């Protein structure tokens, strides 16, 4: 019997090669490794760079070549094991507000110093710092956006590879580094997936769920006790600034009208209704915090916490393009509006809400009513977009 030939994946990850299965070559984590919950890593010095930004693409990304007008020191091969001028630029640019711009305050200098000192003994954290710094520069210096975006992808991929190799290391310092890494990586991924790069909605949804899975997988490696290590470190007072660490333990209950929409759905079973209810309660808790002057920071932080606090079943519903889950994602777009001054978010709110409304159609408008007692300039942005 003649076996059907399969196209070989010559640049696949090491895990897929060992398992003798075809790799989709997506970086930083291929789809096979995500599904199997395996540690994904790639051989070094591969010129082809794949990212979670567009899972439907199987073409190599274009990189800056010899025709670039940039200085020669920026055109050399950026070997991640040695220092180069671009790395120095990225490290010099980094401060804590690049990572968490909504914190602000006078603690920025001490927080920046602590994070960089921690990274000196944790190469995976240093690469994550350089990656998010490059991503930030791609926004603030649009003339050189492509160069910085390429560097952000390469450095993020290397950071995850180093993190996977070091995730078994123990010790207080390593615990703090892991938590900082998961936080920085999460911000970077959210920034990536919320970019308005012209994808159709199903492609955006695939990119979003893939990015969330990568983030949740990395964060899961950091054990729960690591949080106590971080809170006991020099960064502890900054992490709890203006916030109760247990503030999200008690989510607000849904209004009768909101729960009625979920409970009366004939498209969901009881477990799926519970998952949707939890996802919506997280958003409504964010809105409730935004209504209180003393908890506004908590409300804005929910923009980044939502994706990692979602039930796994809700992520599956999004992957299946379940209308109820997509409508709740539209509700999340309203929450994104309140982070429009954060560089990782910008105008993602109106873009996402408009995409959701066009995908679902007017019959789902009752799910997308604006939260009471909060200003709504978003409709103007949607109408003009």
Mean pLDDT on 266-277: 95
SS3 29: coil
Q: Is the pTM of this model over 0.85?
A: no
Question: Does the pLDDT value for residue 59 go beyond 50?
Answer: no
Question: Does the pLDDT value for residue 385 go beyond 70?
Answer: no
Q: Nearest Cα to 29, choosing from 43, 16, 40?
A: 40
* pLDDT of amino acid 285: 93
CA dihedral sign of residues 265, 268, 271, 277? negative
* pLDDT of amino acid 227: 59
8 Å CB contact between 375 and 337:
no
Q: How far is CA 258 from CA 277, 324, 327, in A?
A: 9, 12, 12
Region of residue 374 (left: phi > 0; alpha: psi -120 to 50; beta: else)? beta
**In the chain, domain spans:** 80-200, 256-384
Please provide the average confidence, as pLDDT, over all residues in the chain. Answer: 78
The three-point CA angle 383-342-355 to 5° equals 30
């Amino acid at each position: 019997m003649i076996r059907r030939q399969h196209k070989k994946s010559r640049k696949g990850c090491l895990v897929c090669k060992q398992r003798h299965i075809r790799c989709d070559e997506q970086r930083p984590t291929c789809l096979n490794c995500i599904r199997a919950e395996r540690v994904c890593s790639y051989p070094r010095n591969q010129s082809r760079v794949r990212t979670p930004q567009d899972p439907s693409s199987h073409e190599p990304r274009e990189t800056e070549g010899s025709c670039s007008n940039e200085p020669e020191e920026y055109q050399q091969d950026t070997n991640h094991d040695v220092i180069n001028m671009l790395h120095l630029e990225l490290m010099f640019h980094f401060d804590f507000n690049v990572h968490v711009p909504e914190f602000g305050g006078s603690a920025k200098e001490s927080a920046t110093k602590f994070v960089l000192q921690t990274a000196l003994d944790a190469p995976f954290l240093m690469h994550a710092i350089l990656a998010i710094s490059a991503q930030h520069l791609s926004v603030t210096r649009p003339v050189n956006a492509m160069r910085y975006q390429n560097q952000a992808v390469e450095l993020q991929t290397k950071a995850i590879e180093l993190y996977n190799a070091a995730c078994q290391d123990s010790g207080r310092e390593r615990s703090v580094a892991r938590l900082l890494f998961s936080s920085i990586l999460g911000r970077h991924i959210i920034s990536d997936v919320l970019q308005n790069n012209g994808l159709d909605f199903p492609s955006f949804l695939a990119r979003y769920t893939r990015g969330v899975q990568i983030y949740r997988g990395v964060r899961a490696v950091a054990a729960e006790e690591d949080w106590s290590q971080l809170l006991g470190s020099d960064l502890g007072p900054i992490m709890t600034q203006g916030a109760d660490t247990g503030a999200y333990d008690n989510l607000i209950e849904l209004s009768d009208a909101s729960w009625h929409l979920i409970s009366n759905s004939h498209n969901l079973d009881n477990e799926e209704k519970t998952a949707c209810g939890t996802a919506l309660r997280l958003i409504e808790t964010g809105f409730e915090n935004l209504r209180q002057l003393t908890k506004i920071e908590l409300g804005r932080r929910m923009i980044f916490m939502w994706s990692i606090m979602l039930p796994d079943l809700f992520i599956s519903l999004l992957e299946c393009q379940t209308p109820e889950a997509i409508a709740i994602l539209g509700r999340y777009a309203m929450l994104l509006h309140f982070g429009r001054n954060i560089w990782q978010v910008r105008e993602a709110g109106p873009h996402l809400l408009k995409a959701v409304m066009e995908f679902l159609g007017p019959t789902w408008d009752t799910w997308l009513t604006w939260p009471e007692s909060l200003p709504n300039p978003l409709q103007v942005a949607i109408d003009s977009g």
